[in-house]
Structure 1
């Protein structure tokens, strides 16, 4: 299986499933986010799994510990491959989430969002965080490691440092743009090959694939490029 995760950021299940039908589950996993899950519910996850896809449920839970634990338990019962919470929810919340999924028959990978890739230093300053993005990512990644999570969501630009400092943590990186594609609303971006070289373990890519005339061909090209980069 490749490290590619395709973000199915669609407003409804028919659109998401139509795109999934143009992809090979042996070449990528898929991500279901807030809009799609809110409209389509667990059924869309089950339909994707029936098509052979492993699903990353990207709901970024962030609430009091008991509420997050219950949500993570429900997600684990869906059989998802990966799910996430916000590391900024704090130690007690992260520990409750970890304990909730650990009792599942097939525990999903539980990862924590550090700093959204749409945020830069000015954005953090505006919300009262006086650390630079890289410093805040390192702080929250360390907390995630201490509380026993499997990995973190970070930009590829921080992945290399985390690989050195916290090598046991998986690094899931959104904000990936193949060469020649628009940055859209992402601030901290790298190409797939560059992200892997920096230390990313999994790459999340959305619009460059989902908005393409031939999504399957774009996936195949990205997979080939990553394979070629790994042997250089």
Structure 2
């Protein structure tokens, strides 16, 4: 997977997605569909986006017993998504089950979706992690532990903040994907995120892909912001 800029379609309905995408009539995007949109619209929203020639990251963060996740992934693979994810906290057997389901559900001759694992949410701070999850190590150590577990399970990468990407690549490999949300322009506030970074910092930190939401979706001119962020991400400015 090349280093894409993934646009988070954090909208409650297909209607709002269509209104947003009219700004991008000449662009083939890589978009993220999360729980809010998928739970309202179901698989039809994936069909619509693929028909529009967009690649899709289905961000449902599956976390359940191994057999349930395996069965769910078998069904999700049939949708033709390009990237899916699970929670690394579900454990090795669950992550291996996810891969088995994806392989079983992918049509013959086609490549299965990339599968990555969420380590710690970028909205989670270290003290919160220690107090609420009772994890005594540093947040960085927790993220690295989950990344190693995902790698050992055969997954393609992890969701992590920009600040853990270099460490993960140094301990694993540059081909192991680090997908980073919490991307903001330098002039923007962090809002509900804790570990935010600019596109430039993400690029310099070796991040494999960035996920950008409000900086684009809530902009007065979404296409203009998208192109600006894309240039910064690619090092063109």
TM-score range, shorter chain: over 0.9
Which residue number in structure 1 is paired with residue 166 of structure 2?
Answer: 160
Deviation at 1:28, TM superposition (A): 3.4
Task: Provide the TM-score with structure 1 as the length reference.
Answer: 0.95
Matches within 5 A, 1:40-119: 40-103=41-104, 104-105=106-107, 106-119=111-124
Summarize the Cα distance change of 1:159–1:169 in structure 2 as closer, same or farther, 3 Å threshold. Answer: same
In the other structure, the counterpart of 2:10 is: 9
* Residue number in structure 1 paired with 2:140: 134
Q: How has the CA–CA distance of structure 1 residues 67 and 25 changed in structure 2, closer, same or farther, with 3 Å as cutoff?
A: farther
Q: What TM-score comes out, normalization by structure 2 length?
A: 0.93
Moved more, 22-31 or 109-118: 22-31
Change (3 A) 1:52 1:34: same
Which is further off, 107-116 or 16-25? 16-25
Q: Distance in 2 between matches of 1:123 and 1:62?
A: 20
Q: Aligned partners of 2:28 and 2:4: how far apart in 1? A: 9
**Distance in 1 (alpha carbons) for counterparts of 2:141 and 2:153:** 19
1:20 aligned partner? 21
User: Out of 142, 150, 173, which is 1:144 matched to?
Assistant: 150
CA contact (8 A) 1:17 1:48 kept: no
1:88 positional shift? 0.3
CA distance in 2, matches of 1:57, 1:227: 24
RMSD between aligned residues: 1.5
For 1:162 and 1:196, how far apart are their aligned partners in 2?
A: 15
Contact 1:20/1:48 (CA < 8 Å) preserved in 2?
no
Cα offset for 1:191?
0.4
DSSP-derived class of the 1:44 partner: helix
Distance in 2, Cα, partners of 1:165 & 1:26? 36
Q: Using a 3 Å threshold, how does the CA distance of structure 1 residues 27 and 165 change in structure 2: closer, same or farther? A: farther
Following the alignment from structure 1 to structure 2, what is the Cα–Cα distance between the partners of residues 54 and 25?
Answer: 14
1:196 maps onto 2:203 in alignment: yes
- Contact 2:182/2:195 (CA < 8 Å) preserved in 1? yes
Deviation at 1:26, TM superposition (A): 4.6
Rounded Cα–Cα distance in structure 1 between residues aligned with 2:68 and 2:59: 17
Could you list the structure 1 runs, at least 4 aligned residues long, displaced by more than 3 angstroms after superposition: 24-28
SS in 2 for 1:60: strand
Shift of 1:25: 7.2
- For structure 1, the residue ranges without an aligned partner over 5 or more in a row are none
